Structure formats: structure tokens, C-alpha cells
A and B are shown apart, each in its own frame.
Chain A
């Protein structure tokens, strides 16, 4: 089946504008994650969805960042009043229902990312 897809692949915007990034997870994957990858930095966790709810928003860097998920599928990450420091690659990943415990894991499948450049 199809993998995780993201759109747009590239987005150039002016400082102060709002942007919306879209993620289509793998069908049947109820867990969805957003990460940010800045040049020379590791992947930075932003937010986690289980179904349509977001039990962990702890990684969102400021109140300019928000995300929603509808129908347990597509998710959008919105950045309001973009700043130059928001320039990065935004990656989305999905997995089967998240579980805890040391004997199980659910591999996260990543999309190709959206490269955001704020001028």
C-alpha cells in the first residue's frame, strides 16, 4: 500500500504569513506524529495523535503552532505568523496503535517531509 505522504514538498513563505502543512498517514495507522528537523539537528518531536486526539502536545515550540487531525486520518500542522527560525523540514510519521511495555514496539513510518523556508 501507499506510504505516508506529505504536501507540499516545499514551501517558501514570507515572515509573518501563516502556513498549513498536510500529512496523509498509512491507512489503518491510528498513531500520527509530527517532527521538525533543522539543519544539523536531530528530529525534534512536536506532537502525537492517537486517533483524533492529541494526548501529547509538549513539543510544540510556541502557541503559533497548532495541529489537528480529522477522521482519524489526515492531519494538518499550522504555523501562524511564521518566523525565520521556523525554517526546517517538517516530518510526519504514522504507526499502528501505540502500545507501552518493553516487549513491543510499533515502527514509525515517515513521510518525505515538507521543507519550509521563511524569508
Chain B
């Protein structure tokens, strides 16, 4: 089975840093994905990790530890437009299994 956990909500101040954790227990694994979804819109791809370590892409970074079944998404220099839901997903061959998503609210 698939079990993917992430916090439901997080709030942070504009300009700050927020870290969204994701833990997973899945029957297969070939990568950990993060997607961003603004309210009423399609999820959009943010990052992909298949090896342990940190992947940095501008203000966003994603970390993976396969032995711990753990990932995090780090959002730096938060902007109001970063208010969205962030979805953690585990890839198993062609299939993605998603967590319930973390709603991040950025306040001025």
C-alpha cells in the first residue's frame, strides 16, 4: 500500500523560509515529486528527487532521504504568490501516489 503524510497547513511571513516535510511508506519507489497547486488551477511540477540529497532550483529546494522515507520542500524568500497547496508524490513506474497536500499561506 501507499502512505504519504504531509502537514495540512502552514503559515509564514513574506520574505521568510518555510519547510514542508513529507514522509512516505510505499510499495515501490522511483522518485519523489513536488507539485504546486494554486486554488482552482492545475498542479504544476516543481521538483524531482531520485537520489539522496538536496536539489536546488532558484528559491525552491527539495531534499530526499530514501532510507528514512523522508523528503522536504524548502521555499525561501517567500512571496505572496507562493500561497498555494504543495503536493508530495511518490513515483512507482508510471504511477504517482499523492499526499493530501500542504496549504501554505503567506502573510504580509
Contact = CB atoms under 8 A, between A and B. Distances in A.
Interface of A: 3-4, 31, 33, 35, 40-45, 48, 50, 56, 91, 95, 98-103, 105-113
Q: Tell me if B's interface is mostly helix, strand, loop or mixed.
A: strand
A43 B42 contact: no
Given A105-B30, A107-B48, A113-B42, A45 B100 contact: no
Contacts of A108: 45, 96
A67 to B, nearest CB: 15
24 contacts: A3-B42, A4-B42, A31-B94, A35-B98, A41-B100, A43-B43, A43-B96, A43-B98, A45-B97, A48-B94, A50-B94, A91-B42, A95-B94, A99-B94, A105-B31, A105-B50, A105-B91, A106-B94, A107-B48, A108-B96, A109-B45, A110-B35, A110-B43, A111-B42
B44 interface: yes
A106 to B, nearest CB: 8
B95 A45 contact: yes
Contacts of A3: 42
Nearest to A43: B98
B75 interface: no
Contacts of A42: 4, 87, 98-101
A41 B42 CA distance: 15
A70 to B, nearest CB: 20
Contacts of A41: 100
Contacts of B45: 107-109
Which of A4, A31, A108, A113 has its CB near the most chain B CB atoms (within 10 A)? Answer: A108
